[in-house]
Chains A and B, each alone.
Chain A
Amino acid sequence: MANPLAGVHAARHRLKESHPLTLLIVERLALSVLLLWAVSVLIFAGVEALPGDFAQTYLGQSATPQAIANIRADLGLDRPITTRYFEWLGGVVQGDFGNSWASGAPVSEQITKRLGNSLFLAFFAAAISVPLAVGLGMVAVHYRNRIPDRIINILSLAAISLPEFFIGYLLIVFFAVQLGVATFPSTVYDGMSWSERISAITLPTATLVLVVLAHMMRMTRAAIISVMSSAYMETAELKGLGAFKAIVKHAAPNAIAPIVNVVALNLAYLVVGVVVVEVVFVYPGMGQYMVDAVTVRDMPVVQACGLIFAAVYILLNMVADIVAIVANPRLRHPR
C-alpha cells in the first residue's frame, strides 16, 4: 500500500517548484492558527493560576461570601476549568468572543474601539518613524564616522536610553505645562473631530517615534555598511556610480531583510507594547484595556486581547519574512 501522505507530499513538492511563495504563506498561516490556539491555552491557564478569581477581585474589599457565590453561579465559574475553556473556544471558532464579565457588554464591540485607537496611534508613529529611521540610517552611512553620523547616533541613542515614560514626562513638562502649546491629556473619544484627534496624539506620537527610532536606524546603518564592504559595491564604485546612488540601488535591496525584520518588531511593539505611554498620556488604547481586565481576571477580555496581540506579532513577522524573500530571490530556494 502506498503511503496515503505520499500524494500530499507530491502535491507539496509540485507547489514548491511552481509557487514557492504561495506554499510558504499557506504553511505559515496554518502554523499561525496552531500558535494562536497554544497562546489561548497559555493565557487561560495563566489567568486561572493567578490568586483570586473574578468574583473575589471584582468585588474587592466589599465582597461578602454570598455576593461572591452569586457572581460565580451567574458566570458559571463553579464548573470545571476544561468545560469553561472548550465553551469559550467553541464560541471563538464561530467568531463570538463572548461578553465581558465585568460590564456584560460584547467583547468585540469594546475591543473594536480600543484597537482602533491603538492602531491610529501606531499608524502615525510608524508613518513618521520608519521613513525617518531608514533615511537617517542611509545618511549616517553616507557620512560614516563623520560629524552628521556622530550627531545622528548620539541623539538617537540618547532617546532610546531614556525610559519611555521619562521622555513622555519631559515632553509634557515642556510642551504642555510650561509652553502650553500641546494638548494634554491625550484622551480621545467619540465625537471628536479629526483635527482634534491629531492634535491630541501629537505628544504620544513624538514619544513613540523617539523610542523606536534608534533601533531601526542603527540596524539600517549596520546592514548597509556590511553590504557596502562586499565586492559588488566595489564594482559599483569602480563603474562610476555616485555614492548615494550606489547605496539606494545596490546596497539597500540586499540589506533589506534585516531592516524589515527590525521594522516589523518595532511596528508590533507600537501596537501591543505601549501601555506605559498610554498611561502617561491618558490615551485609551488596547494596553490599558488588557491590564484592567487582567487585574480583575476578566477572562473573555484577556483572551481576546491576548489573541489579537499574538496575531499582530505573527502577522508582522510573516510579512517581514515574505518581503525579505521577495527582495532576495536566493532565499526562495534554500539548499
Chain B
Amino acid sequence: MTDPIKHFASRVSAHEMNRREFIGRSMAAGLTLAAATSLYGKSAMAQEPKRGGHLKLGLQGGSSTDVLDPAKSSSQFTFAMNRNWGDTLVESHPTSGLAVPALAESWEPNADASVWTFKIRKGVVFHDGADLTIDDVVKTLNRHTDEKSESGALGVLGSIKGIENNGGDLVLTLSEGNADLPLLLSDYHLVIQPGGGYDNPNAGIGTGPFKVDNFEAGVRATFVKNENDWRSDRGYVDSVEMIVMNDATARMAALSSGQVHFINRVDPKTVGLLKRAPNVDIQTTSGRGHYVFIMHCNTAPFDNNDLRLALKYAMDRETMVEKILGGYGKVGNDFPINETYALFPEGIEQRTYDADKAAFHFKKSGHDGSVLLRTSDVAFPGAVDAAVLYQESAKKAGINIEIKREPGDGYWSNVWNVQPFSTSYWGGRPTQDQMYSTAYLSTADWNDTRFLNTSFDKVLLEARAELDQNKRKEMYRDMALMVRDTGGLILPMFNDFVNATTNSVSGFVHDIGNDMSNGYVASRLWLNS
C-alpha cells in the first residue's frame, strides 16, 4: 500500500472519509476501482462493533401530528422511527442502491417481469411473539393498496394488480412489466405488520431491531433492544432515544454539548462552525435530491429549445454548489439522475457555464426582453439567493432575468407546476424508472416541465420491462440525453445529506438510499465505550 492510500484507509477507519471520497482519492493515487472498493470495505470493517449503551438522537422533522402507522409516515422523524421497529420485504444496498433481501429471502420474475414470486424468510418473530407468516405479508400489501388505502405508498404500488399467497410464497401480478419491482417494495411505508396492521395500525409491533418503549408524538420516542432479532449485524445498543429537535441551533448545541450522539439536517451555512467543535464528526452522504429551475416546454417563450439551451448554459453550477450548498453537494447535468442510481448513464458530457454559447442560443431563439423567474425560499433552502446568483451569471451572457419573489405559503399549489419558470426541489426516487415516471412522462401529474415527448415515453415503458441490464442502461442513456438536451429542466446541483455524530459513536454507514443512513442510523451506530 502506498503512503497516501494508507493514510486514506486510516481515515476511513476513523470515519473521517466516506466511500466515495476514499475511492476517488485512491484512484487518483493510482489504485484501480476494484482494488479501491475492496480496500474501503476492509478499512471500514476494521472496527468490531461494540454492544450496549443508550443511544440518543436529536432529529428535525417531528410533529405532534406524527403517528406510528407506517402508511401515514411523512416526516423525517417517523421515517427513522419506523425503521427501528419494522422491516420491509426488500432493502436497498447502501452503496450500490441495488435490491437486497430482508424479510423476503429471494425473488424471481417471469419472462416479461410482470409476475414476481417472493420467498418469505422463515423463523422471523414479531415483537409480540407471533411468527411472521405469508398471511401478514399479503395483508400488509393489501392495506397499502386496497380501495380504502390512505397510504403514502399507494402511488408507488399503483401497477400491482394481484397480491396472492401461492403455497407460502408471495406472488405479485403487475399490469405491466417492471424490472424494478423489488426496489419498490423497499419503500419505507411498507413495513410488514402482524395481520397487515388492519387491527391496530399504530401498534408499533414489527420485526425490527428495537421494540417501541414509549412514543409521544412531536416530543420523543424510546426503544429497547429486540432480543429475538432475526439479524445479528444491527441494533448494537441496548436502548435508543429519539428526541424531536426542530430548531437547527438547538440540534447543534445538543450535539456539541454531548447531550445527543447524532443529529440530522445540519445547516450548510453553519456547518463550518459545528466542525470546529472538537467532539463532532460531520457525516455527509451523496444524495439524489436536487435543486432545480424548471421551464414549461409548452409555454412561450420557453417553448423554444434554443431559449431553453441558452438558459441552461447561463447557469454557473460550480458557484451554486459552493455558495448555496456550502460545498456539500455535486453539480448536476440537467437530467434528474446522478451516479448514486443503478445503471447510471456514463460518458455524458458535463454541461458547464458558457456565456458565449448561452448568448449564441439566446440570439438564435429570437427572444426579446427579459425572462421572468418566480422563486421563494420554500422551494429549497437558499432558493432566492440562488436566483440572484443565476441572474448575475446570465447577465454576463446578455440574458436579463427578472426575479419575482413569491410568498412561501401556497408556493407549491400556486407557483410550482403552475407558472412557466420557477425554482423547485425534487427528492430522489429508488430507481431511474420511478424518477422519470413521476415527473417526465407526458401523462404524469407532476410533469412540472411539461416535457411532452412521445419517443421518450416509449423508451421509458420499454426500459421498465427490460430485464437485460446492458440494454436497459443504454435506454436510460438515451432518456437522459433527451431530457438534458431538449427538456425544460435546469439542474445545477444535487444536495448531500449532511448529518453529524459525536466521536463517541462509530458505525455510520454512508447510505445513498436516503438521509440518516437511509433511516437505519439507530440500528447501525454503536457506542465506542
Contact = CB atoms under 8 A, between A and B. Distances in A.
Interface string B213-233: 010111110000000000000
A249 B345 CA distance: 87
A58 B214 contact: no
A299 B203 CA distance: 25
Interface stretch (A61-69, A214-222, A324-332): A61-69
Nearest to B245: A282
Interface string A204-233: 000000000000000000000000000000
A51 B408 CA distance: 11
Given A102-B65, A280-B247, 6 more contacts: A71-B150, A104-B202, A176-B259, A191-B214, A282-B243, A292-B63
A191 B58 CA distance: 20
Interface in A86-116: 100, 102-104, 110, 114
Contacts of B202: 103-104
Interface string A279-299: 111101000110011011010
A154 interface: no
A172 interface: yes
A100 to B, nearest CB: 7
Contacts of A298: 65
A301 B158 CA distance: 33
Interface in B55-82: 58, 63-67, 72, 74
* Among B58, B64, B243, B413: residue with most chain A CB under 10 A: B64
Interface stretch (B96-104, B164-172, B250-258, B365-373): B250-258
Given A62-B74, A176-B257, A185-B245, A282 B250 contact: yes
A177 interface: yes
Contacts of A70: 147-150
Contacts of A27: none
A62 B65 contact: no
A58 B214 CA distance: 23
A173 B445 CA distance: 47
Given A189-B219, A284-B216, A66 B149 contact: yes
A295 B66 CA distance: 12
Interface in A250-285: 279-282, 284
Nearest to A102: B65
B154 interface: yes
Interface string A288-314: 110011011010010000000000000
Given A189-B219, A284-B218, A66 B154 contact: yes
Contact of B259 (A100, A104, A185): A185
* Among B148, B151, B247: residue with most chain A CB under 10 A: B247
Given A67-B150, A67-B152, A189-B214, A293 B64 contact: yes
A285 to B, nearest CB: 10
Interface residues of A, number: 47
B217 A67 contact: no
Contacts of B259: 176, 184-185
A293 B65 contact: yes
Given A67-B154, A103-B217, A185 B58 contact: yes
Nearest to A113: B216
A187 B154 contact: no
B412 to A, nearest CB: 8
A180 interface: yes
A60 B250 contact: no
B246 interface: yes
A169 interface: yes
B74 A58 contact: yes
Interface of B: 58, 63-67, 72, 74, 147-155, 158, 189, 202, 214, 216-220, 243-247, 249-250, 253-254, 256-257, 259, 409-410, 413-414, 427, 445
A70 to B, nearest CB: 5
B330 to A, nearest CB: 22
Interface of A: 50-52, 58-67, 70-71, 74, 100, 102-104, 110, 114, 169, 172-173, 176-177, 180, 184-185, 187, 189-191, 279-282, 284, 288-289, 292-293, 295-296, 298, 301
B74 A185 contact: no
19 contacts: A51-B409, A51-B410, A60-B74, A62-B189, A63-B152, A64-B155, A64-B158, A66-B154, A67-B149, A67-B152, A70-B149, A103-B67, A172-B250, A177-B253, A184-B257, A185-B245, A187-B219, A189-B219, A292-B63
Give the interface SS of chain B, mostly helix, strand, loop or mixed.
loop
B256 to A, nearest CB: 6
A86 to B, nearest CB: 25
Given A67-B149, A288-B64, A281 B256 contact: no
Nearest to A281: B250
A309 to B, nearest CB: 16
Contacts of A62: 74, 152-153, 155, 189
Nearest to B58: A185
B253 A184 contact: yes
B154 to A, nearest CB: 5
Given A60-B74, A70-B148, A282-B243, A185 B65 contact: no
Contacts of A50: 409
A282 B74 contact: no
B378 to A, nearest CB: 12
Contacts of B243: 185, 187, 282
Given A177-B257, A282-B245, A289 B64 contact: yes
B67 A51 contact: no
A103 B249 CA distance: 28
A298 B65 CA distance: 8
Contact of A280 (B74, B149, B249): B249
A88 to B, nearest CB: 18
A210 B410 CA distance: 37
A117 B263 CA distance: 25
A298 B72 CA distance: 14
Nearest to B152: A62
B245 A52 contact: no
A110 B64 contact: yes
A160 to B, nearest CB: 21
A184 B216 contact: no
